[in-house]
Homo-oligomer: A and B are copies of this chain.
Amino acid sequence: MFIHMKELQFRAKPEKPDPVYARKLQEVLGGQYGEMSVMMQYLFQGFNCRADRKYRDMLLDIGTEEIGHVEMLSTMIAQLLDGAPADQVDEAAKDPMIAAALGGMNPQHAIVSGLGATPTDSNGYPWNSKYIIASGNLLADFRANLNAESQGLLQVVRLYEQTTDPGVRDMLSFMIARDIMHQNQWLAAIEEIEAIEGPIAPASFPRERSVEEVTRQFMNFSVGEESSAGRWANGTLPDGTGDFEYVANPTAYGDAPVLNPPAKHQHSTLGTGPYVVNEGFEK
């Protein structure tokens, strides 16, 4: 059960409106790695959590915080849209700067959402739940979370530099800080799990059931061997089971496949006469 407090977690007030920037800022609200994604990802991981209670509580704490981030961004976007020049057709015709601004806006902000934030990205593409994962495996999911906070921070930093509005930068400087914290958080949580399980997710599949020699091989599927120079092809395996091997010319373990001809009921065989499957019905 949840409770709302009317105060925002942080200030969210631009110095002046900027409808083109409002469109851009939508990316970190309703985009692939926006706040809606982390909010829903953490909430679903928490609701489904079958592990120790501290994990459930932690996931729901951060999920609940992210609902408040969606709130802050929506509030900011609504204010950036104040005074959007949708009502100045004639002035637009005279002033190329206004025309350019109108061209750069998301038209749905003026037609659909009443100059409010939309649950979409910077191209108006709707948020959808395939952006998120809750697999039940803590290590796998914490890696998903670390990735989400890394991509998200990267995007916020890029957006920070695409405006000089002090109010917007003020809010983003808070969101940047929280994304840094959340990267720290997932790094720490991963460290805790890896101490128990090792670094392969899931840990519980018996290694001898796999084709073990290929758990160590970097396979060079190209002409040229630049890829042999990285850590991924040299030294100890992170899971401690041996050393990386570089296979310059990978060989095929399998044969060329030969599929059976099409089933009769698929009507895909060349050169048959007409026929009907499941006879016994006369029209």
Contact = CB atoms under 8 A, between A and B. Distances in A.
B125 A125 contact: yes
Contacts of A57: 6, 222, 224-227
Contacts of A101: 99, 103
Contacts of A116: 44, 47-48, 50, 134, 136
Q: Interface centre among A116, A223, A272, by most B CB within 10 Å? A: A116
A214 B100 CA distance: 38
A61 B183 contact: no
Given A140-B154, A260-B82, A221 B61 contact: yes
B1 A5 contact: yes
Contacts of A153: 200-202, 205
Interface residues of A, number: 210
Contact of A196 (B147, B188, B210, B271): B271
B123 A107 contact: yes
A16 interface: no
A189 B134 contact: no
Interface string A242-266: 0010000010111111111111111
Given A64-B221, A244-B184, A264-B87, A8 B1 contact: yes
Instruction: List the 4 closest pairs (A to B, CB-CB), nearest first.
Output: A114-B136, A48-B116, A103-B104, A123-B124
Contacts of A36: 129
Contact of A136 (B11, B43, B70, B262): B262
B20 A176 contact: no
B126 A125 contact: yes
Contact of A188 (B126, B235, B273): B235
B122 A125 contact: no
